[in-house]
């Protein structure tokens, strides 16, 4: 015999199972209908143009995900622009009125820095409200550059500043003597072979080593140094075997370079008659002998005339 409370528990279990099946059959169509509830407004091709300093222009395309469900009334679409280090809701939120499918843009004036822009996906609802809440966001990062300042003219002082009185006289610049140009000269430009001539040079370096040469066949005649003022006065002897004619004297300094002087070397001087001196002396002696002989002849002739008388 079955007890009454057991029959009641079995009946309750069957009733609960039946209710569960009925509920599932009732809810399933509603869930399927919720999945296909209303079309979504899709935002695509989101981009940001930051060519202008301290500004950003956001562009995007707006269309529903079902082509035959385009919205017929204006919708207010939210655009979020915010620094990368803050949340979306803490940045700038602007509203853009969307009335038809197409491309839209919005320009923001922003300080230099790094930002994100987010535009949401909206459900299309038949309501008179400003627009539904976004269900999904498309986000693009971007950077805003600063305006390069244009340098302006330097302002002129309104009042001149007083010039302080000098306590000590300003030092005067010392006169700088330009370095002298080396120069040289000879005491004579034509000399006898084997004789001497004096070479003078100025403008050389102080204590500069100097050599004196004669050309064309180079022969060194002297070597030494200039004095502390860069001057030189030196007597030299022309070699006795030097060919007669035109020559050059070279004053060669190790720092100043070479100075060239023209010199003519000639032989022994001729007498006024144009005869060599030694030949003239012989002629003079012969003439004197002839004169003495003639005087002797005259004296002897005079003496003979006296004896004849």
pLDDT, position 150: 75
What is the arithmetic mean of pLDDT over 272-284?
A: 46
Model confidence pLDDT, tens digit, residues 120-176:
776 665 544 455 667 677 888 989 888 887 776 777 767 777 777 767 777 776 666
Predicted model pTM = 0.34
pLDDT, position 15: 45
**pLDDT-based confidence at 32, cuts 50/70/90?**
very low
Residue 239 has pLDDT above 80, yes or no: yes
**pLDDT-based confidence at 243, cuts 50/70/90?**
very high
CA angle 71/49/57 to nearest 5° reads: 50
How far does CA 174 lie from the centroid of its chain? 35
Residue 8 has pLDDT above 60, yes or no: no
**pLDDT-based confidence at 249, cuts 50/70/90?**
very high
**What is the fold of 40-144?**
Immunoglobulin-like (2.60.40)
Identify whether the C-beta of residue 238 lies closer than 8 Å to the C-beta of residue 273.
Answer: no
**pLDDT-based confidence at 178, cuts 50/70/90?**
low
DSSP 105-163: EEEEE--SEEEEEEEEEEE----SSS-PPPSEEEEEEEEEPPPPPPP-PPPPPSSPPPP
Domain with CATH 2.60.40.1930 in the chain: 40-144
The architecture that CATH gives domain 183-266 is Sandwich (2.60)
3-class secondary structure, 99: coil
Distance CA 231, CA 92 (A): 91
When mean pLDDT is compared across 18-32, 210-224, 270-284, the lowest value belongs to 18-32
3-class secondary structure, 36: coil
**pLDDT-based confidence at 225, cuts 50/70/90?**
very high
What is the arithmetic mean of pLDDT over 170-189?
A: 80
Kindly state the tokens that stand for 50.
Answer: 């930051």
For residue 124, give the nearest of 51, 46, 69, 186 by alpha carbon.
69
More confidently predicted of 210 and 177: 210
Beta-bridge partner residues of 185: 200
Phi and psi dihedrals of 18, rounded to 5? -65, -40
Model confidence pLDDT, tens digit, residues 66-114:
655 555 556 667 788 888 888 887 888 777 777 677 788 888 888 898 9
Domain with CATH 2.60.40.10 in the chain: 183-266
């Amino acid at each position: 015999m079955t007890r009454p409370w057991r029959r009641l528990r079995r009946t309750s279990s069957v009733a609960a199972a039946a209710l569960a099946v009925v509920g599932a059959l009732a809810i399933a169509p509603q869930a399927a209908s919720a999945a296909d509830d209303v079309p979504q407004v899709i935002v695509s091709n989101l981009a940001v143009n930051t060519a202008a300093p301290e500004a950003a222009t956001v562009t995007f395309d707006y269309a529903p995900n079902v082509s035959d469900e385009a919205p017929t009334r204006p919708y207010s679409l939210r655009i979020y622009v915010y620094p990368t280090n803050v949340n979306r809701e803490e940045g700038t939120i602007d509203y853009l009125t969307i009335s038809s499918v197409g491309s839209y843009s919005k320009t923001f004036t922003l300080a230099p820095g790094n930002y994100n822009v987010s535009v949401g996906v909206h459900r299309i609802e038949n309501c008179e409200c400003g627009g539904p809440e976004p269900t999904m966001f498309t986000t693009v990062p971007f950077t805003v550059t600063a305006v390069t300042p244009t340098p302006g003219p330097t302002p002129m002082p309104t009042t001149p500043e007083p010039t302080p009185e000098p306590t000590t006289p300003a030092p005067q610049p010392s006169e700088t003597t330009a370095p002298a140009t080396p120069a040289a000269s000879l005491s004579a430009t034509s000399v006898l072979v084997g004789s001497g001539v004096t070479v003078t040079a100025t403008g050389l370096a102080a204590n500069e080593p100097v050599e004196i040469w004669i050309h064309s066949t180079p022969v060194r005649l002297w070597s030494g140094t200039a004095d502390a003022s860069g001057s030189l006065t030196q007597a030299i002897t022309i070699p006795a075997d030097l060919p007669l004619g035109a020559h050059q004297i070279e004053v060669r300094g190790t720092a100043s370079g070479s100075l060239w002087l023209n010199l003519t070397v000639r032989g022994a001087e001729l007498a006024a008659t144009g005869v060599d001196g030694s030949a003239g002396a012989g002629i003079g002696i012969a003439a004197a002998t002839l004169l003495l002989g003639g005087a002797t002849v005259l004296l002897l002739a005079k003496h003979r005339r006296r004896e004849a008388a």
